[in-house]
Structure 1
Amino acid sequence: MNKKKLICGLGLLAIFQIGKAQTTQFYPNDVSDLLNLYGDNSSSSGTARSIGMGGSMGALGGDISAVETNPAGLGIFRNSEASLTMSVSSHKNKASMGSASNSTTNTNFNIPGVGFVLALGQESQPLRVNLGVNYSYQRLDNDVYFGKNKNLSYLYPGANGEMQTYSMENYDIYTNGYKSKMKFSLGTNYMDRFYFGVGLDWQYLNVDRNSTYAQRSSVDGEYMPFNEQLTPYNQEANGFGLSVGVIGKVTPEIRLGIAYHSPVWWSNINDYRWIYNFDESNNVIGNYVYYDRNKNTTAGKLVLSGAYASNIINDDNSLAFNVDFLNYFNNNMNFGGGDIDYRLNNNFINLYTKNSQEYRAGLEYRYKELKLRAGYSYMTSPVKDKTIAGSFDLNSDPVYVKNYLAGAKNKFSLGVGYDMGPFFADFAYQYIKSDYYTSLSGDFFNPSQNTNVNFSLENPILGKVQNTQNNFVLTLGMRF
């Protein structure tokens, strides 16, 4: 780690590093954050029109959120536009470890987007230029709570020092935070045949993560909570990325597009974590907060798009259809820094991740001022299938699972819009489903009772999470 400063006790750093190197192969929390929190979220955020079409607007353009797929879509605007997006989102996690399962739900209201487009030039000019600014905001709150698991029981010294049988009371992975992005785009329109665009992203992320395990004695009912090593923690990061794209009309009705999005380079990650030190007898000898500044790189992507847009009856009726194919370069992801934990995380990424793909399709039908939309998106997991082994309790045989840490995602959406002169209103509903596995492994500490619990890294306890999201999105805008 670069320029590490222990807030309390520089002398214990060496002890911590030795203990850490001996007890872990990679850090699931950090890899999960890289795959999920720092990653791409463009098909589940944006205007109601974009979400209503499943985020599939790479060749259609004409929407401020379309620049997240292909910045050339900005050149399709004929008028200047300002818009405000509001949303209500509900997240539900059904978590099971062994035979027990538990559900948690959280709902929040957000203003996830503000956009502005300035259309320059006249219709008669062969080359026109448009400028766009889009601010987006996404909550990262997530609570995965595993309840009691009596199959996860073992002998452990109690408060009086005598061996007692303890079983798992709960295991909770709680995340709280948000990610924001400011995007500046430039799009050009040449003869209404070719559109070019470039976009620059400045992103910010602030997240808190806590991972706790608790057990209860079957003898006297003693409840013992533990914090996972390196939690709780807070990360504050700044990221930068860029994108370029082009759209061309093959015929007046058919458009093709291609765009490249660079990786997002996250730098100046301010990282505050709790560490728990222990001696050769596994007695906890202190807990401290340390500060680290590091960096990471998330996946870039290549986007191929096709669209059909035509008046099918007269000027009051039209149909538009768009498909996008996205290839994410997940193997380009890495953690910065030269210490053992970053090398271990990068080893996991090199061995177990793969390029993931996303397929999007969207439909929009217009009848006079009314617009009806539907969309679908499917994204594969970035982790190789059946390469991670674990058990569902202490007595079950090891199994290999897919969708570890980041699962495949299915997204369904419906939308409606209405124009009122220069004003417009769009509404969309989006349903997202993703199943994945996480694991209970590594060291957990209870400093107040001077105890710790260690779970196998070679054969971790697996937990299955079924995540569903319901998003309701409203966009209000004006053209001028």
Structure 2
Amino acid sequence: MKRIACLFVSAFFLAGGIAYAQGEMNAYTMSQTDLNGTARYLGMSGAFGALGGDISSMSTNPAGLGIYRSSEVVTTISLSSIKANTNWNGSKADESKTKFNFDNIAYVGYFPTGNDEGIVGWNIGLSYNRVKSFNRSYRMNGAQPFSVADYAADMAHGTPEKDLTLVSGKFDPYFDADNYWLSVLGYEAGFFKPNTSGGDAYHSAFGAPGAAYSPQNVDLLVNEKGSIGQYNISFATNISDRFFLGATVAITDMDYNLTTKYQEDFTVKDLLWLDNGLSTDGTGYAFNIGAIVRPVDFLRVGIAYNSPTWYKMTDYFHGSAQVVIDDVEGKVKETPDYQAGEYRLRTPDRWIFSVAGVGQNFLISADYELTNYKRMNLSDVDGYDMIQTEGIKSDFGMSGTLKVGAEYKVTPQFSVRAGTLWRTSPMKQHVKDGIAAINPKTGEYYINAVDVAGTIPNYTVDKGMNSYSVGVGYRFTPSFYADLACVYREYKEDAYAFPSTFNPDGSVVVKSDPASLKTKTTQVALTLGYKF
């Protein structure tokens, strides 16, 4: 969230590319994980915290490795269909993608001690697991009263006109002043003009001051792709078949790419367009620890702590824009090629509480995950918090995820499974409502709804997710088995073309209307495993 300009000090001038490198919503996107793992894990919606006996435990509760009584190799592939539907003030649009994925491969080694009491056995696990997929496309098409030109003009308020102009070899407004990047690109491209020559108040170039045109047709196309992959090394032990303890060290690799194409048509002779690209690469590390207790044969209770992932990130931005006014094309303006920066992202940590009942031919289990997204943090390479971290603390809170799963053995070889998952949004109510929050330090309202990245004004607000799973498993021999699962997920969001802006008293200056966005994913996963 952009705060009052005086919060910037000279130390940020040399790091301007970093200061606006990531927004709070981007940090949230890169801090999430999907329901992903083996087909058995998916078929029970991931409710394995107290069950174990599955390689997916390495990414959640590694004590689950202690349940193994043999060694195993396993791999999973999947096919996903992703459909995104938007409704923007009554105007609907659909986009879809289909993606084939290699989800995981793992080895678990079991080393018995020969003891019946005390330490019965040791387990070691090595795995790769794709914990997040970013693949999605969505489109917003419709109309709203305000333009991105109004937004960029209002965000430039208080900045002298001379500080918005790139002067080759002398002055770079992206790095040499406390500027919001889209205001610089928008001014260069002609989105807005000063009310008076040399002043620091601005109005949309489409219309007169106080009487700006409303765009008659707005179109935004967003394409996301990439993934987060996790490499795990896990250790677990079995104590008297009653206590199971485990730990995982994880190395994480992130690859995220975003492209957006945005256009507003005002009249037959007037329009603007804005294209953006963002590429983010990151590597990080984390650890998980957990325990499972079996007080009686039919009951298991689990608890696990998943640490934050500490990422080192690099961003690459590129933005370009142009206007057409009275059928006259302005020059295409682009951001400089050097707008890239290194920074640090710390994701939130997570607690997982689990319980499971195990019978002769069936089992049922439940997990509850608690994640405090307020603990996300963005900092520079020297460890100093970026200004966006203030927005994270203001706009995010707790998220809860409930997973419930069941399995029934129809025959000793054939099993059927089902599960469901519900996840709540960590966004605070003012973010969900698209209104301003109060700055606790000043008692005034922040001037815009959320913080966005670089010259990319669009963002989404999480409204919650649920999923439903079914699966089957068949053991062909005592050693070889196959599992199949189908998962249906529905992720609800509000999508904004740009943030709303506000006066210090909370009154609206520029209002951005959200589109209702639903992302529906159908995933079919196949796991092949061999025990020895």
TM range (shorter): 0.7 to 0.9
CA distance in 1 between counterparts of 2:470 and 2:345 reads: 36
**Deviation (angstroms), 1:277:** 11
Match of 2:463 among 407, 422, 439: 407
**Deviation (angstroms), 1:208:** 1.3
CA distance in 1 between counterparts of 2:297 and 2:308 reads: 34
- The answer to whether the Cα contact below 8 Å between 1:209 and 1:234 also exists between their aligned partners in 2 is yes
The AA in structure 1 aligned to 2:69 is R
Cα deviation, 1:409-450, whole Å, max 9, x if unaligned, reads 10110010000111000000001112111222269xxxxxxx
2:503 aligned residue: none
1:394 aligned residue: none
The AA in structure 1 aligned to 2:135 is D
2:473 aligned residue: 417
Match of 1:328 among 371, 378, 383: 371
1:32 aligned residue: 25
**Deviation (angstroms), 1:33:** 2.7
Cα deviation, 1:301-339, whole Å, max 9, x if unaligned, reads 11111111121xxxxxx1111111111121111111299
- The answer to whether the Cα contact below 8 Å between 1:93 and 1:105 also exists between their aligned partners in 2 is yes
- The answer to whether the Cα contact below 8 Å between 2:47 and 2:367 also exists between their aligned partners in 1 is yes
**Deviation (angstroms), 1:345:** 2.2
Cα deviation, 1:388-426, whole Å, max 9, x if unaligned, reads 5449xxxxxxxx9xx962231101100100001110000
1:364 aligned residue: 407
Match of 1:143 among 130, 137, 145: 137
Long gaps (5+) in structure 2 = 1-11, 151-189, 192-204, 208-212, 323-329, 436-448, 450-458, 501-507
Q: TM-score, normalised by structure 2?
A: 0.72
Change (3 A) 1:118 1:149: same
CA distance in 1 between counterparts of 2:370 and 2:51 reads: 19
2:283 aligned residue: 238
The AA in structure 2 aligned to 1:132 is G
**Deviation (angstroms), 1:96:** 2.3
Root-mean-square deviation over aligned CA pairs: 3.4
The alignment status of 1:214 with 2:270, answered yes or no, reads no
Match of 2:484 among 427, 434, 443: 427
The alignment status of 1:436 with 2:489, answered yes or no, reads no
2:219 aligned residue: 170
Q: TM-score, normalised by structure 1?
A: 0.80
CA distance in 2 between counterparts of 1:37 and 1:117 reads: 29
CA distance in 1 between counterparts of 2:109 and 2:387 reads: 47
Q: Secondary structure at the match of 1:88?
A: strand
The AA in structure 2 aligned to 1:352 is D
The AA in structure 2 aligned to 1:225 is W
Change (3 A) 1:153 1:379: closer
2:302 aligned residue: 257
2:250 aligned residue: 201
CA distance in 2 between counterparts of 1:55 and 1:437 reads: 27
1:3 aligned residue: none
**Deviation (angstroms), 1:116:** 0.9
Change (3 A) 1:176 1:202: same
CA distance in 2 between counterparts of 1:85 and 1:352 reads: 37
2:85 aligned residue: 94
CA distance in 1 between counterparts of 2:318 and 2:144 reads: 29
The alignment status of 1:225 with 2:302, answered yes or no, reads no
Match of 2:418 among 374, 389, 398: 374
Q: Secondary structure at the match of 2:462?
A: coil
- The answer to whether the Cα contact below 8 Å between 1:154 and 1:165 also exists between their aligned partners in 2 is no
Deviates more, 1:53-62 or 1:206-215: 206-215
Long gaps (5+) in structure 1 = 1-12, 312-317, 392-399, 444-455
**Deviation (angstroms), 1:244:** 0.6
- The answer to whether the Cα contact below 8 Å between 1:441 and 1:457 also exists between their aligned partners in 2 is no
Q: Secondary structure at the match of 2:398?
A: coil
CA distance in 2 between counterparts of 1:273 and 1:423 reads: 48
Q: Secondary structure at the match of 1:242?
A: strand
Q: Secondary structure at the match of 1:54?
A: coil
The alignment status of 1:132 with 2:180, answered yes or no, reads no
Change (3 A) 1:89 1:418: same
The AA in structure 2 aligned to 1:63 is D
**Deviation (angstroms), 1:458:** 5.4
Change (3 A) 1:251 1:434: same
The AA in structure 2 aligned to 1:139 is S
2:511 aligned residue: 459
Change (3 A) 1:307 1:277: same
CA distance in 2 between counterparts of 1:204 and 1:135 reads: 11
Structure with the bigger percentage of strand: 1
Change (3 A) 1:123 1:105: farther
CA distance in 1 between counterparts of 2:81 and 2:138 reads: 14
Cα deviation, 1:132-175, whole Å, max 9, x if unaligned, reads 011012431121211233766799999xx996874233112221
1:314 aligned residue: none
The AA in structure 2 aligned to 1:305 is S
Deviates more, 1:207-216 or 1:62-71: 207-216
CA distance in 2 between counterparts of 1:49 and 1:123 reads: 30
CA distance in 1 between counterparts of 2:386 and 2:149 reads: 35
- The answer to whether the Cα contact below 8 Å between 1:155 and 1:165 also exists between their aligned partners in 2 is no
The AA in structure 2 aligned to 1:31 is E
**Deviation (angstroms), 1:88:** 0.3
Q: Secondary structure at the match of 1:95?
A: strand
Aligned residues: 422
The alignment status of 1:248 with 2:293, answered yes or no, reads yes
- The answer to whether the Cα contact below 8 Å between 2:145 and 2:214 also exists between their aligned partners in 1 is no
**Deviation (angstroms), 1:68:** 2.1
1:59 aligned residue: 50
CA distance in 2 between counterparts of 1:253 and 1:80 reads: 24
The alignment status of 1:116 with 2:107, answered yes or no, reads yes
The AA in structure 1 aligned to 2:474 is Y
Q: Secondary structure at the match of 1:348?
A: helix
Cα deviation, 1:240-291, whole Å, max 9, x if unaligned, reads 1101111111101101111111111112x1111126799xxx9987521212
**Deviation (angstroms), 1:179:** 1.4
- The answer to whether the Cα contact below 8 Å between 1:154 and 1:166 also exists between their aligned partners in 2 is no
CA distance in 2 between counterparts of 1:178 and 1:240 reads: 16
The alignment status of 1:475 with 2:527, answered yes or no, reads yes
The AA in structure 2 aligned to 1:335 is L
1:305-316 mapped onto 2 (5 Å cutoff): 305-311=354-360
Change (3 A) 1:195 1:14: closer
Cα deviation, 1:43-82, whole Å, max 9, x if unaligned, reads x210000000010000010000123221100000001000
CA distance in 1 between counterparts of 2:480 and 2:149 reads: 68
**Deviation (angstroms), 1:465:** 0.7
CA distance in 2 between counterparts of 1:155 and 1:386 reads: 24
2:98 aligned residue: 107
- The answer to whether the Cα contact below 8 Å between 1:388 and 1:404 also exists between their aligned partners in 2 is no
**Deviation (angstroms), 1:122:** 4.9
Q: Secondary structure at the match of 2:389?
A: helix
